[in-house]
Amino acid sequence: MGSEENGERVFQQRGGGSILNCPSSGMGTNSTSDKVSGMAMCSQSMFRSTNGLDPYGSNWDPIVSLSQSGSFGNSTMVTQNHEFANSHCSVVLENQTMGSSSHLVHFPSDSGLVDMMPKIPSFGSGSLSEMVSSFGQIAESGSLSNFVLKNGVGLQRASTNIADSQDKFQNSEDGILGPSPYGKRKRKEPIGASPQNAEEEQEKDPSEDTSEFPKEDDEKKQKSEQNIALNSRSRQAVKQAKDNSIGAEPSKENYIHVRAKRGQATNSHSLAERVRRERISERMRLLQELVPGCNKITGKAMMLDEIINYVQSLQQQVEFLSMKLATVNPELNVDIDRILSKDILQLRGSNASGLGIAPGLSLSHPLPAYPQGTFNGAPGAAPPFHPLPQHLWNNELQGILQMGFDPDPSISSLGPNGLSKMEL
Amino acid sequence: MKNPTTNPSSSMIRTRFAVRFLHAMKKLNKKTPAPSPYRRRFHTIRAAACASMACAVGPRKAWSRAILKKIRARTLHHYLINKSRNQQMMMIKRGNPRDEELAVGFGYGEEDDLRGLVPGGEGMGFCRLLSETAHYIKCLRAQVQVMTNVLDHYSST
């Protein structure tokens, strides 16, 4: 029960988010079977909710809107969503009191919905009642995240109860995407209303789900892979409801909980594979940006070739430079310190703020006497950089650098001379 | 010369690397001035470049850890073996910070080639290899820039 309640909560949350906009339309008959079927599809329909539906009341505007869109299945789901939304909306959204159980199944007096009703009986009513009760509980939980978290779980658990009726439901609700959470259907919702709330809620999903999902998933693992599929389905259904074109990555870094996308297999292996592939493609994209001239290349093999060539060329460059450096005879040790400053100047030419030396040193060129004001400004930015290299640089180097910070007349004579080399 | 990347992280790496590398160069030039055998200097400089880059990056990345490990092993090896007799051999061993390139000959496919190129790339998954490669490329680029600057400065003065 608790699980179902959680699942209910989840549904509500999602439904609430999606159905927030749903205007509440008066629903006609409530039947447990409807509720059940609605539950099954609620995850999908929840997000299907549309703009303009009031979440409150026993009005099933979502269903109306759905039916308006012409999707029978949507309406069914919307009903469920509405159920959820009702309780959820009241609690979370706008503190409106919603008839919880009583309004669980409100079907708009829409012909489309009415047509759906006969099909619903395939679901066991028992599970629906459980779901219904959970709705009341959903009102109590005011945490969106929990809802989101439990969404898949709730669906999963509910599914176990309704497992038998799933097939029936599927058969009966052929045109409806309904039992997708429970079954293997990935029919795309014709009504692609993607409520922003649902979107946001869903976005919260990955971050919060990771912690809870695995636990709950493990509980159900014993059932069968179907549970996993259900999870993915439910999440997918929720996701799909928003926008089928959004094949957003599940962004589950640590867990294998991935939303199975439309038309893709959902067993655990392929899900894991998909995660892996997505990660790899993401890294490949990063590499593509790093390696110059790889924008047009598509394909893993060619990209890898390019990357390998680039790394090899960089390494060869380093070798070549070191060979050259070996032949060069440095004049004085002081030069190295100057090189360091020069390097820093050159490398950080545009990042003078990060290195207070740059403005100070560059300004020192034209002025034989360090302008006090100039350097006073520089040290402000320098301190963060200054402590770091102090222990790295020798005193000589520090002396040179400090010239930028503390214009010392005694050193200044050396400064401009030495710094004049910077202009080279 | 302008650096194309100005994000703070790469600047930090560049600075750290520059500092270490210049220190190493200073030390090297004190010990073995330029007219000495170029080959030896070359190898030392190359090793110094890789070592300073690895130190600048720190042990956060697998490839830098691999380089540091290799360097330390080499240093130990260097102490353990007679210098005069095996100097040449040490030079060859030490001067090749890219043992991993040898592995390329044994690997098959591009993935193994990449593993051979990136230090420490043998023992990690492909996904991790890719991210290590990205970071390695960034650091290599910074290394090249710094060394070019140093060289320019040397040749200009």
Q: Is position B22 within any domain? A: yes
Q: Kindly report the nearest CA distance between residue A264 and chain B, in angstroms.
A: 22
The reply to whether residue B151 touches residue A335, judged by beta carbons under 8 angstroms, is: no
Q: How deeply is B153 buried, as exposed, middle or buried, from its count of CB atoms within 10 A (0-12, 13-18, 19+)?
A: buried
Buried b (16+ CB within 10 A) or exposed e, A65-102: bbbbbebbbbbbbbbbbbbbbbbbbbbbbeeeebbbbe
Phi/psi at A276 (5° precision): -65, -45
Q: Is the dihedral of CA A223, A38, A18, A101 positive or negative?
A: negative
β-bridge partners, A26: A59
Q: Is the dihedral of CA A94, A100, A104, A108 positive or negative?
A: negative
Q: What is the distance, to the nearest Å, from the Cα of residue B7 to the centroid of all Cα atoms in its chain? A: 22
Contact B49 A318 (CB under 8 A): yes
pLDDT of residue A333: 52
Looking at residue A21, its pLDDT comes to 44
Determine, yes or no, domain membership for B2.
no
Q: Please tell me the predicted confidence (pLDDT) of residue B84.
A: 52
Rounded Cα–Cα distance for residues A8 and A31 (Å): 17
**CB proximity under 8 Å: A 334-363 to B:** 335-340, 342-344, 346-351, 354-355
Chain B residues with CB under 8 Å of A330 CB are: 25, 29, 34, 154
Residue of A279, A333, A347 lying closest to B14 (CB–CB): A347
Other C-beta atoms lying within 10 Å of the C-beta of residue B142: 26
State the residue range of the domain holding B28: 8-156
In a domain, B3, yes or no: no
**Position of tokens 């400053």?**
A341
A108 forms beta bridges with A27
pLDDT at position B157: 67
Q: Quick one: pLDDT at residue A343?
A: 57
Q: What are phi and psi of A27, to 5 degrees?
A: -100, 145
Beta carbons of B149 and A315 less than 8 Å apart: no
Using the Cβ of A333 and the Cβ atoms of chain B, whether some distance falls under 8 Å is answered with yes
Which candidate in A249, A278, A336, A393 is best for mutational testing of the B interface (most B CBs within 10 A)?
A336
pLDDT in tens, A166-210: 445 444 444 444 444 444 444 444 444 444 444 444 444 444 444
Put simply, whether A421 touches B (Cβ < 8 Å) is yes
Written as tens digits, the pLDDT of chain B (157 aa) is: 444 555 777 788 888 888 888 888 777 777 776 677 777 778 888 888 888 888 888 888 888 888 888 888 877 776 676 555 555 555 555 444 444 444 333 334 667 778 888 888 777 888 888 888 888 888 888 889 888 888 888 777 6
Our count of domains for chain B comes to 1
ipTM of the complex: 0.77
Q: In this predicted model, what pLDDT tens digit does every residue of B67-88 receive, in sequence order?
A: 888 888 877 776 676 555 555 5
Q: How far apart are CA A204 and CA B116, in angstroms?
A: 41
Q: Which residues of chain A have pLDDT under 50?
A: 1-128, 132, 135-136, 138-167, 169-230, 232, 234, 236-252, 348-424
| A164 contact B CB<8A | no
Mutate to test the interface with B, among A343, A391, A423 (most CBs of B within 10 A): A343
Q: Which residues, other chains included, contact B23 with Cβ-Cβ below 8 Å and sequence gap of 6+?
A: A336, A392, A394, B52
- Helix/strand/coil percent split, chain B, to 5: 75, 0, 25
Contact A400, A337 (CB under 8 A): yes
A59: phi then psi, degrees, rounded to nearest 5: -80, 135
Token output for B25: 């160069």
In a domain, B1, yes or no: no
Do B144 and A318 count as a contact with CB atoms less than 8 A apart?
yes
Beta strands in chain B (DSSP E): none
- Please indicate whether, in this complex, the C-beta atoms of A329 and B35 are within 8 angstroms of each other: yes
Helices A32-48 and A72-88: crossing angle, nearest 10°? 90
Contacts of B151 in chain A (CB under 8 A): 321, 324-325, 328
Query: Is residue B79 assigned to a domain?
Result: yes
pLDDT for A347-402, tens place per residue? 544 444 444 443 444 334 444 444 444 444 444 444 444 444 444 444 444 444 44
Residue of chain A minimizing CA distance to B53:
A318
What is the structure's pLDDT at B55? Answer: 85
Q: Is residue B29 part of a domain?
A: yes
Q: Cβ(A213)–Cβ(A251) under 8 Å?
A: no
Residue B144 falls inside a structural domain: yes
Whether chain B has a CB inside 8 Å of the CB on A279: the answer is: yes
Does the beta carbon of A246 lie under 8 angstroms from any beta carbon of chain B?
no
Q: How far is B77 from chain A (nearest CA, A)?
A: 23
DSSP A151: H
Helical segments of A258-356, H only? 268-290, 300-327, 333-347
**Is residue A48 a contact partner of residue A193, using CB atoms and an 8 Å limit?**
yes
Angle of the A144-172 helix axis to the A196-221 helix axis, nearest 10: 80
| Alpha carbons A114 and A112: distance in angstroms, whole number | 5
Position A234, amino acid: S
pTM: 0.42
Compare CB distances from A339 to B8, B118, B150 and report the shortest one's residue.
B150
Token output for A151 = 């969404």
SS3 A266: coil
Residues of B in contact with A287 (CB under 8 A): 130, 133-134, 137
Cα→Cα distances B74→A409, B51, B95, B116, Å:
48, 12, 10, 19
